[in-house]
Chains A and B, each alone.
Chain A
Amino acid sequence: MILGAGAATLGAATVAPLVIAPASPMIASGGSHWVRTMKLEDLKEGERKRVAIISDLHDAWTVAKNVTLGAVWLERRGDDVRCLSVTCPHLGCAVSATPDGFNCPCHDSDFGLNGERKGGPSPRDMDSLKTRITDGWIEVDFRRYRVGVPERVEIG
């Protein structure tokens, strides 16, 4: 009995390093999401433009300044800008623009011009992101959402 408990304790103590360090979740980086993209005057009415989201990338112990984190589709509507994340809500590939909307090259999800789900396996519409105009620049509230689920759940 005592020997058994002793062996179990020893076992637990020697296995513990494997479990406690790698299995604990790392803290994801958060912070301000507003990212400056392009000038409003350079975006033509009705044109869909894929722009890169350039900001700081935290990866493990490194931080890279001004690197491309992702991309969004912008479309100007008067003084407003509609912004859709390029990340397909199905499994996370990047969607391309088609004449009548968007299409994902991986599993063929189809979306309309407003990002609404039209066909294919995507469980929800494309994720729209908030935009604002500051000093003539379009700024995007860049967020990422879990893919593969019908509801929008933010990551990080």
Chain B
Amino acid sequence: MRLFDWLDDRTGHRTWIRRWRDYPIDGGPAWTRAVGASILACLFLELTSGIALMTAYSPDARNAWGSVHFIQHAMPYGWLVRGMHHAAADALVVLLTLWVLLLVVRGGYRRPREVAFWIALAYLPLVFAFNITGGLLPFDQLGYWARSVELNIAAMGPGGGNLVKLATGTGELGTLALTRFYVLHVFVLPVVVFLLWIIRRSIEKKHAYAGGNARRYFPGQFARDLALATIVIASVMLEVKRTHGAPLGAPADPASDYPARPEWFLMWMFELRHRMPKALEFWGTALIPPMLGFLLALLPWIDRREATDQTGPAFRLRALVVLFGVFGIAGGLEYSGLHRDAMDPEFHKALAKWNVRAQKADQLALSGIPPEGPIAMLEHDPELRGEALFTQHCATCHLLGDLGDPKKFTAPALDGWASEAWIMAMMHDPDADLRFGKTPYKEQMPSMDVAPKDKPDFEPMSKEDMQAAASFLAMQADGANDKDHPGKTIVTERCTTCHLWKGEGDDGGQNLAPEFYGYGSFEWVRAQIANPATKATYREGALAPELKGHMPRFDDDLSPADIDLLARWVKARTKASKPRQ
């Protein structure tokens, strides 16, 4: 042990250990005193996991989401580290609240420990600040919109606008804001917490009470500290295992319509805001939490006894009742807010939409994110872009799936379009609302099996013939255009009275009914979107001015690449769906 003798001589480390071991615990070891050690354990876990996350994270608007996705999906055990960082942060909110509550119950605010108590109180807003700055860093919809609303709330207060500018650099949640939140989260806040911890520890030492009922820290209290911290860290691990890491929403999109919600521990304030009369909204919600904190800070003057004073539990009981009242109200508000959202179908619909987008982004990002960022990645995805183009250009008239307004549509529903079932329905009742009924082409195509009013001698087409023709036409979409088929003669000889087959037909010269060769194929859809009047689908007659509300051409508005993409999307979607009834 000559090495340790030497070390002790140079550093005095044995004295440190002795002081730590012999630190007097007033009233002996207690479980209620063990919370502090668990907080320390969580903070240490935050530090180690935080450093690990910093090795891959990039605080830049176009890279942040992607780097977190990388941590979550590509970095070995990245999901685990990120999950621990997230779950331990939640645990800290709970533990710190409990800790402050126990301090109040035990009279830990009493003379001469006022300053130590204030420092303990200051940890609450600090842990919120950690959560708020950290929540923006993944730059997903959840964090972006929660922060956006919170900054707008902050800007409403006096001097709030400048505070927001200071926090974000520009007032917007972009790259500068991310960098600043990052600096706060990984440097400024940890340093502040560490300094406060040092100061509080010195104050505690100064006032350490070594009365007759005091016991040494080691081993009684140490064992309790260790046990509770082990339970807490084990719970954090179990939570990570259960949730498979922290959630990552769809990439932040400033132009979207995300229903912003705060973190779970601020939900009660969200609900308070909701229930506040409009005139009181800002002051009512912005003042109540700091007022509560201020009241707590004044406790040493409300209860003016010294720390050693053991008289009467009456005050503590009253304080406890008040505190539980406050927590009860906050808990009630919290529940009410969560309950209202749970009961709101619109909220669920919006969340479901964004969950789908988050999954899509997750999946696309696995094969790499372009340097323009995850939003550009999503915009260029054929599936999403197809849907966006359809929504913007087609769904104003057409219906397809849940796109288009079922009350206002003016063009055929495209679900199952060009399938056998759809063609059968078309041949039977072309003027149904879901087909030509709401279009200028109404009454232009006759039914094949229902007699028109003015033609009593009408001879309906047989069911077998209709089936054969529909079956042959449905094959056109897949390129089996010319195959020998019982329906071929019907289509190429009887339908061509009005329709075209390879450009031939329309004996009556109506110049209206479309080409059937390749009907429903990619080429057909593409030609129809670009310009319906090229004979490849319909002809000039179909775009005649008197047919008001006809299908427009899109080759002026959309690039050839977009038309290709849209045609491919429409063909895939119509094929994957069944005709509406």
Other-chain residue from A22, A47, A69, A93 in contact with B408 (beta carbon distance below 8 A): A47
Contact between B175 and A155, CB atoms less than 8 A apart:
no
B166: interface (CB < 8 Å)? yes
If A39-B557, A67-B375 touch, whether A92 touches B152 (CB-CB below 8 Å) is yes
Tell me which of B171, B255, B276, B408 has the highest count of chain A C-beta atoms within 10 A of its own C-beta.
B255
> Can you name the residue of chain A whose Cβ is closest to the Cβ of B282?
A148
Kindly identify which residue among A26, A52, A70 contacts B170, using a CB–CB cutoff of 8 Å.
A26
> When the two chains form their complex, are residues B149 and A106 in contact, meaning their CB atoms are under 8 A apart?
yes
- Asked if residues B149 and A94 are in contact (CB atoms below 8 Å), the reply is no
Residue A79 lies at the interface, judged by CB distance under 8 Å to chain B? no
A61 to B253 alpha-carbon distance, docked (Å): 19
Q: In the complex, what residues of B have CB within 8 A of residue A107's CB?
A: 273-274
Which residues from 242 to 283 on chain B have a C-beta closer than 8 Å to any C-beta of chain A?
A: 253-261, 273-274, 276, 278, 281-282
Q: Name the residue of chain B whose CB is nearest to the CB of A61.
A: B175
Q: Number of A-B pairs whose CB atoms are under 8 Å?
A: 105
Residues of chain B from 268 to 318 with CB closer than 8 A to chain A in the complex: 273-274, 276, 278, 281-282
Give A27-50 as 1s and 0s: 1 = Cβ < 8 Å from B's Cβ atoms: 010000000001100101001010
Q: Is A140 an interface residue (CB 8 A)?
A: no
Closest 5 CB pairs of A and B: A105-B259, A94-B257, A59-B174, A68-B255, A60-B175
Does B396 count as interface, using CB distance less than 8 angstroms? yes
User: Could you tell me how many residues of chain A have their Cβ less than 8 Å away from some Cβ of chain B?
Assistant: 43
Q: Which residues of B lie under 8 Å from residue A86 when comparing CB positions?
A: 257
Contact status B281-A93, CB under 8 Å: no
Kindly state the separation between the CA atoms of A155 and B273 in the bound complex, as whole angstroms.
25
The reply to whether B278 and A121 form a contact with Cβ atoms under 8 Å apart is: yes
Q: Does A108 contact B (CB under 8 A)?
A: yes
Asked whether any CB of chain A lies closer than 8 Å to the CB of B205, the reply is no
Closest Cβ–Cβ distance, residue A139 to chain B (whole Å): 16
A93 near B176 with CB under 8 A, answer no
Q: How far apart are B368's CB and chain A's nearest CB, in angstroms? A: 19
Q: Is A53 an interface residue (CB 8 A)?
A: yes
A152, CB-defined interface residue at 8 Å: no
Provide the residues of chain B in CB contact with A38, threshold 8 Å: 392
- Asked if A1 CB lies within 8 Å of chain B CBs, one says no
Question: Is A62 within 8 A of B62, CB to CB?
Answer: yes
- Assembled-state Cα–Cα distance A52/B174 (Å): 19
Which of A25, A47, A105 interacts with B396 by CB under 8 Å?
Answer: A47
Say yes or no: is A64 at the interface (Cβ < 8 Å to chain B).
yes
- CB proximity of B550 to chain A, nearest CB, Å: 13
- Whether, in the assembled complex, B153 has its beta carbon less than 8 Å from a beta carbon of chain A, the answer is yes
Question: Is B215 at the interface (CB under 8 A from chain A)?
Answer: no
- The reply to whether A22 and B166 contact each other, CB–CB distance below 8 Å, is yes
Q: Which residues of the other chain, A, contact B375 by a CB distance below 8 angstroms?
A: 67-68
Given contacts A26-B169, A107-B273, contact A93 B259 (CB under 8 A): yes
Within 8 A of A (CB), among B342-375: 346-347, 350, 372, 375
Q: Which residue of A lies closest to B340 (CB)?
A: A108
- Contact check, A92 vs B175: say whether CB atoms are below 8 A apart: no
Query: B61: CB under 8 A from chain A?
Result: yes
Q: Tell whether, in the assembled complex, residue B165 and residue A25 are in contact, meaning their CB atoms are under 8 Å apart.
A: yes
B389: CB under 8 A from chain A? no
Q: Residues of A contacting B578 with CB < 8 Å?
A: none
Rounded to whole angstroms, the CA-CA distance of A155 and B172 in the bound complex is 10
A91 at interface (Cβ–Cβ under 8 A)?
yes
Min CB–CB distance A97 → chain B (angstroms): 10
The size class of the interface chain B forms with chain A is 35 or more
Interface centre among B169, B254, B257, B375 (most CB of A within 10 A): B257
**CB neighbors of A among B391-407 (8 A):** 392-393, 396
CA gap between A49 and B180 in the complex, in Å: 37
Q: Mark B141-171, 1 if CB is under 8 A from A, else 0.
A: 0000100110011011000010001100111
A24 to chain B, nearest CB (A): 10
* Given A49-B396, A92-B148, A105-B347; 17 other pairs, CB 8 A cutoff: A28-B171, A42-B557, A44-B396, A47-B396, A59-B175, A60-B175, A60-B179, A68-B253, A68-B375, A69-B254, A91-B260, A93-B145, A105-B259, A121-B276, A123-B278, A146-B161, A148-B155
Shortest distance between the CB of A45 and any CB in chain B (Å): 12
A60 touches B152 (CB 8 A): no
28 contacts between A and B (CB under 8 A): A22-B180, A26-B165, A26-B176, A42-B393, A42-B396, A51-B392, A59-B176, A60-B170, A60-B174, A62-B62, A67-B375, A69-B254, A86-B257, A91-B149, A91-B152, A91-B153, A93-B145, A93-B148, A93-B257, A93-B259, A94-B255, A94-B257, A105-B259, A105-B346, A106-B145, A121-B281, A148-B153, A148-B282
Contacts of A67 in B (CB 8 A): 375-376
Residues of chain A lying within 8 A (CB to CB) of residue B156: 148-149
User: A50's closest neighbor in chain B, by CB?
Assistant: B257
Whether A129 is near chain B, meaning CB under 8 Å from some CB there, is no
Interfacial chain B residues near A44, Cβ < 8 Å:
396
Is A23 located at the chain interface by the 8 A CB criterion? yes
Q: Shortest Cβ distance from B392 into chain A, in angstroms?
A: 8
B145: A residues at CB distance < 8 A? 93, 106
- Contacting A93 at CB < 8 Å: which of B253, B258, B278? B258
User: In this assembly, does A96 line the interface, its C-beta being within 8 Å of a C-beta of chain B?
Assistant: yes
Closest Cβ of chain B to A75, distance in Å, is 13
Smallest CB–CB gap between B526 and chain A, Å?
20
A16 to chain B minimum Cβ distance, whole angstroms, is: 16
By a CB distance below 8 angstroms, the chain B residues around A126 are: none
Cβ of B179: which chain A residues have Cβ within 8 Å of it? 60
In the complex, chain A residues whose CB is within 8 Å of the CB of B552: 42
B144 to A: closest C-beta gap in Å: 11
Contacts of A108 in B (CB 8 A): 274
For A92, the closest partner residue in chain B by CB is B152
**Minimum C-beta distance from A129 to chain B (A):** 15
